Amino acid sequence: MVVIVDTISNPLRPRHPEKVNRPDSASPPKPDWIRVRAPNTRGYADTRNIVRANGLHTVCEEAGCPNIGECWDKKHATFMIMGDTCTRACAFCNVKTGMPSALDVAEPDNVAEAVAKLGLAHVVITSVDRDDLADGGAEHFAQTIRAIRAACPSTTIEILTPDFLRKEGALEVVVAAKPDVFNHNLETVPSRYLTVRPGARYFHSIRLLQRVKELDPAIFTKSGIMVGLGEERHEVQQVMDDLRSGDVDFLTIGQYLQPTRKHHAVMRYVPPDEHHSASEMFDLVADVERYPEFVPLCSALKIRQRMAKPDGTEVLVADMTVSFKLVKESFTSRVTLDRANLKILVEYLQGPFSNLENRWTFEPKGDDVCDVGFFLAYEFKSRMLALLMGSMFDAAFARFSTAFEKRADAVYGRPKLTSS
């Protein structure tokens, strides 16, 4: 259990003073698959004793990580440098907030000593945000990296840094110390930043990671986000695209857990096996008669003709009506359902288009996982209609993927999380 008020180090000071007067945020009960046992192993105790003996902080303890028992038993720990108090106040984080104390000049050597005692092949070093420091703590990161290199030359070093927002030259100092992995977490999708991570800027964080590669291409770059904060699937996919545009090598995605009722609520728990097979997704798209129930702008659909062909495919002739504000148009299409090859082809027959072609492909990617390919090309006969309906189609396409994911959730009991 995590408490709001720290009554040990300072009986009068709340751990999160900015959250004390917030109303409680209720989260749904934790599912069985996310519950863990309380740590009680010998390996956990040994790691804890080494951390205590060297006067160190870990994000495992400060953030209330539920995996601490498993990780510490294997002598895996993420050391948190520059104190236990953060100058930011993110809605998801359990690290204490406020004005930090001065840096401990002996900390880099103490961290290196702990790494040696634990015999770590790989170590992760993170920190609180230190907006109070001129360089955001960049030099302290560099000193810690150098101290570990001197004490444990074979240990690979991963750093998980703050964003060094408005700290000119700070990133260059850290990169020059040559960590093996430079990790900076985006934490969530851009639309959630104002409520989840208000002190940060999404595109600054993307640029920070991109800049690392520009300064030293040999350094691996990495980021992480949480799910369960109210994000949509297409937003997670956009984050993936943005990170690849920034030449980021690795991405981790984890379930958000609410530290206390004063923190951001868990909007939903996302099961780790959340995906669908290619045949399931084919059936979902092939069920065209259901489109008016969930497809954006589709107000009506009627099957004129249905026939099976000798090659095993099924062909439908359908009338579809799309509506957008005061605009309503109907058109007729031929839909070919090729179940054997998991392909769907939509061909235009009659209506306001001079051309319309839509293709779907469903490619299996292992057990109950698939990639969905979607292609759409269209051209209107009327220039005026093109201006009116063209913008409608562009807006609909942006909502199209989300609509099918929600439909998958309703039909199969879980949304599809594979890339499309």
Q: Are residues 210 and 320 in the same domain?
A: no
> pLDDT per residue over 216-244, tens digit each?
999 999 999 999 999 987 888 889 999 99
Q: Are residues 53 and 192 in the same domain?
A: yes
Q: Are residues 191 and 237 in the same domain?
A: yes
Q: Are residues 222 and 141 in the same domain?
A: yes
Mean pLDDT of the chain: 84
Q: Are residues 231 and 338 in the same domain?
A: no
When pLDDT is cut at 50, 70 and 90, the band that residue 169 belongs to is: very high
In a domain, 6, yes or no: no
Q: Are residues 176 and 89 in the same domain?
A: yes
Average pLDDT over residues 381-389: 69
- Cα distance between residue 313 and residue 315, in whole Å: 7
Beta partners for residue 85, in sequence order: 96
Q: What is the CATH number of the domain that holds 153?
A: 3.20.20.70
Q: Is the pLDDT of residue 198 over 90?
A: yes
Q: Are residues 216 and 295 in the same domain?
A: no
Average pLDDT over residues 77-98: 89
Q: What is the CATH number of the domain that holds 393?
A: 3.30.530.20
In a domain, 3, yes or no: no
Number of domains in the chain: 2
> 360 with 373: CB under 8 angstroms?
yes
Q: Which domain holds residue 365?
A: 278-412
In a domain, 236, yes or no: yes
Q: Are residues 194 and 299 in the same domain?
A: no
In a domain, 28, yes or no: yes
When pLDDT is cut at 50, 70 and 90, the band that residue 43 belongs to is: confident
In a domain, 417, yes or no: no
In a domain, 404, yes or no: yes
Q: Are residues 213 and 334 in the same domain?
A: no
> pLDDT per residue over 274-294, tens digit each?
666 788 888 888 888 888 887
In a domain, 4, yes or no: no
Q: Are residues 292 and 332 in the same domain?
A: yes
Query: So what's the pLDDT on residue 276?
Result: 66
What torsion do the CA atoms of 261, 265, 268, 271 make, to the nearest 10 degrees? -60
Q: Are residues 198 and 315 in the same domain?
A: no
Query: So what's the pLDDT on residue 3?
Result: 45
